[in-house]
Structure 1
């Protein structure tokens, strides 16, 4: 097998639709992988759609048609040689031609396409891919099949294209078009490896093994011959013969010396190169290499006294899932590089996450993404790309979905990080509760057969080693006439009442078995705002039209204010509002996670919405579209820590939950005080405690601790070793917090600066918004609450020279205190 990429030399031309006159007839160079958006951006022909309201200015691209053209310089096929032209991803509706010959038509960006050009290559040189507007195609399909309801106006459910390409409540509506994955020519003789599916397991005697399923394609240009498949892994080699009349083989390799692969926080992640070679007995015809890990995975859904659990087990061990939902990391997918993914996944790991859910409105993630997760021990839950819509089950959609599922299931089998397949996002829930039944006429299909029949059938055929869930949310054993799919007592659960209607303390009103979506909004970092939405007159406002263009959620700002009011008030100043909404987002999510973790093993996982953004926007993300960590990221790191101490509610009373997500016992003397904001201890409890590995212990608080003399000026403070947690008796907005509780010193370091703070009075959620001074600056910690008399040092990494006085005060140094109390003038010491 010989392959050559066809990535250079392509030209793009607008061929039809509502194209501006200045672009008509213009040939624009385009790097492949690439799309119309990236080509025009690279050429300076459109403004950045992520800045200001430029997204609106490129809406004409929704209905444009494009021609991608390349002159192919390839020799003719040799005798007995097959030549294939391979497109790993075409976005989306296209016709492919080589010279005058139509090679095929495409209508699915989630699959690859392979064309036999044996008789054409070297004789025909003009390769053309005509890409039609996906929106126009989808509207025609809606007219042909009949409308199906969706959460959004565009008919995203009528074409197999990334759903969020049509816009979402956190994303732009750009509707890309192009060759979004690689293009190449493959030359081969006699036979090639058409598919390799390694399925790992552990035998009853504890020996790991891999069963390698091999499919071959024969050229048909020579007399069929016996072929040999040779497989090597972990120092063991095995082979099998494929007889002339056959096209498949299964090679099983036991690896007795191989170590097990574990998720982050549970062990190491050994990966073993798996090599597969296809030969005709004399010469190598094709080869395939990946790294695999040996592990087992299952979901425990055995009914119990509380309902139906949904507990992930790796190598037989139950794992509390500390997760986040994942969306495409850039709406312009071809700009997502290996290094960008590595940065994002390192941020996930550093926040103590052990799982990412690849959400169903995006894509099947890339090989880079999965290999990076394999290396880090980050588990992956992969949705099939079906989201928030009723999907027709007529042709060609049904065949396209099956084709993409078969290809991607097979493609992803090598990755130990992949542990769950899921049939889609909120589609069954939507059918029941969002009025879909009322608008679907007669026996109109809506995707139930995909979730309950097609996808589980394909998985059973290609990969029975991984568990499958019908939908998220989904109740095991559910039927449309029986249990509700979002029942918190059964299976997976989405909690969106809090964001949409309720105060975040309502998270504590239910004990879900597994919460696979919940979240709270907050704006991006200040530096990200300045680049994307800075007002021309310098007057920042949450009602500014440009700011609102980057707030896609329905009544998003109103919900932010409603969420603030009871906790921090609603600041009038924009800089204060920005800090308050970021802080409230962090607190809301941390409150939920602490509650969920305190109920382990009854609650077996939490997957916050969401880890990342695809552009600069006010959203639920912990890492914004500029790759900057919001306060929420620091809250996730604290709430998902291996050892967590938090004050939670039990039977209407506060208790201290000690959560130990390590294998070793957690022992020590816990000191719990009721003390004033000034540091005067009013009551104290000392208790020797031991928390077993992977378990939770609750410490009941006696009346003298849980009953304040003055709730406005007292707090519960618990300390165990280096861990500390603080809980007020009233909300900050009602508390007598000092507006200026800190003494501050600043010292330059070789890496940047150290900022040391000491609390004269209780200081809530001390945070440095360092990107306000240097967009590239990063601080090591945030959201640190300090009782009176205690101190903390924040280490800032920056290559810039910063104003030390600015580091020590507003709007860079922030606390919750400065939102609810007056901040007087004060003296700052700068050490250096």
Structure 2
């Protein structure tokens, strides 16, 4: 009896395993690729793709990557991000397209069992390709388009011995464009359905190969006869919700495409399980067809909602959509999603669109994003770091600029994680696509207005990209293009056909600075300006009610500059009168925006190090002022603003909160301070003290404390009062204009503006430095030294707590930069996340700063502290 029972149990277990084990496997082809230029290749694809063909003389290739990435990794070209090196690399406009046309080849092991299908997927190739496997051509027609995913059933091409070779011939874009210094060069780069920045822009030099290559991931996937593809998740959240507490139900709508590769009809069940409930739908799939099947709506009880950064948690769910026939899983597709609903309405007071999430209006504090790396060296880890920086700046939205690309799923995963809403532009720009008369362009506006050449490819690519990213809760808005709509027929396809059919849940803006977004009462382009501005302008001069692009400078500190400026170019940039250029060629080449006379009030810089240090003071002030000025007029003048821009994918000297190497500068911390969810601030024009509450919760019994400090560190309490703020509002508390003017007259002043809760804990700590009556920081130039006492200890595997204290007998210890170093090299370790930086301490004050570095166990870490009037010091970690 025991043997019979054991046998029964074994059989039952095997049946159970068979029922719930999927035939699917999916993996990436990202190693052991080789490449060779077509000019040096005599064999054709039929020969190259045979395993007998020797690849010994071929170069190791980087996939995902571009031709230029591979050449750089093999030391065939110098680093185009350093100095003037980009000028040493041949440009495709001069060499011709064949010069950057390359074969890529990869051996892989795979075979198909009975009833198995093997699929090859390219998530992005630039620009057109011929694909061969084992001596046979896979694609009958050349596959073209930078943004078009393509999947091939390669089952019949596989060798019986499982030893296979893939060979891909990659051709550059059809129109490479003349990089003549214009935005997008001569504009003809826009004839392709591809990135426009590669011909050069005002923040980047041309990418010499125009990013030719297998630039995104390559996958092998195994399924049964049915392939589950392009799942679609819609969540409906009615009413006005709050992040905390029990939730009313939400509705989940799920569908997916089912591709039947069999020569006969297949009947089965599509299903998923959520919260212990199985949701199913029977379906019969016709032979050799793809059918979209919708499952019954699922009512989620007490759902965990997804919220933008600063407003609530970023909860998420995961389901596995399966297709089952007679208890066997033919394929499954995992999907992650967040439960939220995006709403938009027209604010008749501001005359602009406002965005709501789950019924709650969100004041937009955003940044413009180009892409992570100009050579498309994209990674999940780098995306995570960059989006985390934006979360740490207290921003809640990123706009992906239209001259770039549709960002990768890993980007959206990071935005989901950190709560960044996203505006996704499609691939046109006012510069290349004909908005303006432009003498740098080869063709007239009428001709450029019809770019790209292949409208069908554009719409096909758009449809595919919508399917790729539509399930991410962070994706909030689609945008037709940068500063211009696509041509009329493409716009019609996007607005009236593709998006209603494939998404239909998000706001579509026809172009980035459209009147649909913001009433353009000032005329012009509806965005900007982009350079240094008097702080007063942010507070007092009304701009577009929802400004899609406004920004300032962004030069890094000396450590950052020395990473890409050769020794001879490490100079103070001297402006050339009447131009945007400076005397040093490398500064001009890297697109430096002049600081004008803004550094002089701090004292004329003596060398590049001194210049960069003083630039950080301006950086901090500019972006804190920008965010505070817009927040001061929340829901009155503005429904949001988007900084141009918050990051650089190249070593440019403008518009960045952190450099290409992921080292933050003072822009990041100024933005962070000015964007606090609950924030007390000082209006430098009117002398007003205001409180901004960017939460859904009223703040009762908060203490506002205003203290002034002179250059010797003597303090004067200007006011201390209990107050309150309503949700999502700005409140004027009082004006200290005359009092502060009198205190600053002689040599300037430090002003501390703080909010405290009933536990006397500081919940907003804002520290200003104010100029004297002549506009100079004369007191700062003569302030006494203020050494800090400091200690540091490791509090987790990747986190250090740094305690700094300013002696009671000192004056202010001003604007201290904290850096985590590797003691062996004395270089900063990157990326490091700081809970705060560029900090100031008043006499007797103590602060604790946390530093987080993922590989802390792998280095001999030490901390460097350096400030305006603080002697530099390094300390070991306990």
With the shorter chain as reference, the TM-score category is 0.7 to 0.9
Tell me, in whole angstroms, the C-alpha distance in 2 between the residues paired with 1:331 and 1:513: 31
Aligned to 1:133: 172
1:296 maps to 2:357: no
Give, in angstroms, the shift of residue 614 of structure 1.
1.8
Tell me, in whole angstroms, the C-alpha distance in 2 between the residues paired with 1:336 and 1:10: 17
Aligned to 1:474: 514
Q: Deviations over 1:492-512 (max 9, x none)?
A: 95222544xx54532331154
Tell me how large the CA RMSD over aligned residues is: 3.9
Give, in angstroms, the shift of residue 283 of structure 1.
2.5
Asked if structure 1 preserves the Cα contact closer than 8 Å seen for 2:363 and 2:634, the reply is yes
Tell me, in whole angstroms, the C-alpha distance in 2 between the residues paired with 1:671 and 1:81: 70
Aligned to 2:499: 459
Tell me, in whole angstroms, the C-alpha distance in 2 between the residues paired with 1:706 and 1:744: 28
Aligned to 2:67: 36
Aligned to 1:822: none
SS in 2 for 1:109: coil
- Structure 1 532/828 Cα, relative in aligned 2: closer, same or farther at 3 Å? closer
- Which residues in structure 2 correspond to 1:193-204 (within 5 Å)? 193-202=228-237
Tell me, in whole angstroms, the C-alpha distance in 1 between the residues paired with 2:791 and 2:608: 30
Aligned to 1:421: 478
Gaps of 5+ in 1: 18-23, 429-445, 819-825
Q: Deviations over 1:293-322 (max 9, x none)?
A: 111111221423x4x232210100011223
Give, in angstroms, the shift of residue 131 of structure 1.
2.0
1:624 maps to 2:655: no
- Structure 1 26/677 Cα, relative in aligned 2: closer, same or farther at 3 Å? same
Q: Deviations over 1:181-200 (max 9, x none)?
A: 22244455543223211111
- Structure 1 814/155 Cα, relative in aligned 2: closer, same or farther at 3 Å? farther
Give, in angstroms, the shift of residue 717 of structure 1.
4.8
Tell me, in whole angstroms, the C-alpha distance in 2 between the residues paired with 1:394 and 1:669: 58
SS in 2 for 1:533: coil
1:593 maps to 2:627: yes
Aligned to 2:130: 95
Asked if structure 1 preserves the Cα contact closer than 8 Å seen for 2:228 and 2:257, the reply is yes
- Structure 1 61/401 Cα, relative in aligned 2: closer, same or farther at 3 Å? same
Residue in structure 2 matching 1:783, options 815, 830, 838: 838
1:575 maps to 2:613: no
Q: Deviations over 1:587-623 (max 9, x none)?
A: 1111110011111223222322333222333121101
1:332 maps to 2:375: yes
Tell me, in whole angstroms, the C-alpha distance in 2 between the residues paired with 1:781 and 1:79: 59
1:343 maps to 2:385: yes
1:313 maps to 2:331: no
SS in 2 for 1:814: coil
1:182 maps to 2:224: no
Tell me, in whole angstroms, the C-alpha distance in 2 between the residues paired with 1:542 and 1:102: 55
- Which residues in structure 2 correspond to 1:310-709 (within 5 Å)? 310-333=353-376, 335-388=377-430, 389-390=432-433, 392-393=449-450, 396-427=453-484, 447=487, 449-451=489-491, 454-455=494-495, 457-476=497-516, 484=520, 494-496=527-529, 498-499=531-532, 503-508=534-539, 509-535=541-567, 540-542=571-573, 548-549=585-586, 551-552=588-589, 556-557=592-593, 559-565=594-600, 567-568=601-602, 570-602=604-636, 603-648=638-683, 653-662=686-695, 663-672=697-706, 676-678=710-712, 684-701=718-735, 704-708=738-742
SS in 1 for 2:175: helix
- Structure 1 679/41 Cα, relative in aligned 2: closer, same or farther at 3 Å? closer
Tell me, in whole angstroms, the C-alpha distance in 1 between the residues paired with 2:277 and 2:338: 15
Give, in angstroms, the shift of residue 455 of structure 1.
4.1
Bigger shift: residues 505-514 or 620-629? 505-514
Give, in angstroms, the shift of residue 548 of structure 1.
4.2
Give, in angstroms, the shift of residue 549 of structure 1.
3.2
Aligned to 1:436: none
Tell me, in whole angstroms, the C-alpha distance in 1 between the residues paired with 2:583 and 2:803: 36
Asked if structure 1 preserves the Cα contact closer than 8 Å seen for 2:557 and 2:613, the reply is no
Q: Deviations over 1:8-29 (max 9, x none)?
A: 4432111249xxxxxx995102
SS in 2 for 1:357: strand
Asked if structure 2 preserves the Cα contact closer than 8 Å seen for 1:737 and 1:762, the reply is no
Bigger shift: residues 789-798 or 233-242? 789-798
Give, in angstroms, the shift of residue 113 of structure 1.
1.7
Give, in angstroms, the shift of residue 674 of structure 1.
6.2
Asked if structure 2 preserves the Cα contact closer than 8 Å seen for 1:611 and 1:621, the reply is yes
Tell me, in whole angstroms, the C-alpha distance in 2 between the residues paired with 1:828 and 1:271: 44
Tell me, in whole angstroms, the C-alpha distance in 1 between the residues paired with 2:716 and 2:119: 79
Aligned to 2:196: 163
Asked if structure 2 preserves the Cα contact closer than 8 Å seen for 1:14 and 1:26, the reply is no
Gaps of 5+ in 2: 1-23, 41-54, 240-246, 434-447, 575-580, 757-761, 795-799
Give, in angstroms, the shift of residue 399 of structure 1.
1.4
SS in 1 for 2:371: coil
Tell me, in whole angstroms, the C-alpha distance in 2 between the residues paired with 1:394 and 1:780: 46
Q: How many residues align?
A: 769
Q: Deviations over 1:723-752 (max 9, x none)?
A: 344362647525444523342034453358
Give, in angstroms, the shift of residue 765 of structure 1.
3.5
SS in 1 for 2:624: helix
Asked if structure 2 preserves the Cα contact closer than 8 Å seen for 1:72 and 1:126, the reply is yes
- Structure 1 599/699 Cα, relative in aligned 2: closer, same or farther at 3 Å? same
Give, in angstroms, the shift of residue 624 of structure 1.
0.7
Tell me, in whole angstroms, the C-alpha distance in 2 between the residues paired with 1:226 and 1:522: 60
Give, in angstroms, the shift of residue 61 of structure 1.
5.4
- Structure 1 262/454 Cα, relative in aligned 2: closer, same or farther at 3 Å? closer
Asked if structure 1 preserves the Cα contact closer than 8 Å seen for 2:110 and 2:164, the reply is no
1:283 maps to 2:328: yes
Tell me, in whole angstroms, the C-alpha distance in 2 between the residues paired with 1:29 and 1:276: 38
Tell me, in whole angstroms, the C-alpha distance in 2 between the residues paired with 1:284 and 1:680: 75
Aligned to 2:52: none
Q: Deviations over 1:29-86 (max 9, x none)?
A: 2142232223223323222222232222223456423332436566787777655432
Give, in angstroms, the shift of residue 253 of structure 1.
1.8
1:15 maps to 2:33: no
Tell me, in whole angstroms, the C-alpha distance in 2 between the residues paired with 1:78 and 1:793: 60
SS in 2 for 1:243: strand
Asked if structure 1 preserves the Cα contact closer than 8 Å seen for 2:197 and 2:403, the reply is yes
Tell me, in whole angstroms, the C-alpha distance in 2 between the residues paired with 1:222 and 1:107: 28
Aligned to 2:577: none
Asked if structure 2 preserves the Cα contact closer than 8 Å seen for 1:647 and 1:727, the reply is no
Asked if structure 2 preserves the Cα contact closer than 8 Å seen for 1:107 and 1:160, the reply is no
1:263 maps to 2:300: no
Q: Deviations over 1:139-174 (max 9, x none)?
A: 59x9xxxx9x95533522111222233333333422
Tell me, in whole angstroms, the C-alpha distance in 1 between the residues paired with 2:198 and 2:92: 12
SS in 1 for 2:793: coil
Q: TM-score, normalised by structure 1?
A: 0.82
Asked if structure 2 preserves the Cα contact closer than 8 Å seen for 1:522 and 1:560, the reply is no
Bigger shift: residues 448-457 or 459-468? 448-457
SS in 2 for 1:178: coil
Tell me, in whole angstroms, the C-alpha distance in 1 between the residues paired with 2:650 and 2:836: 25
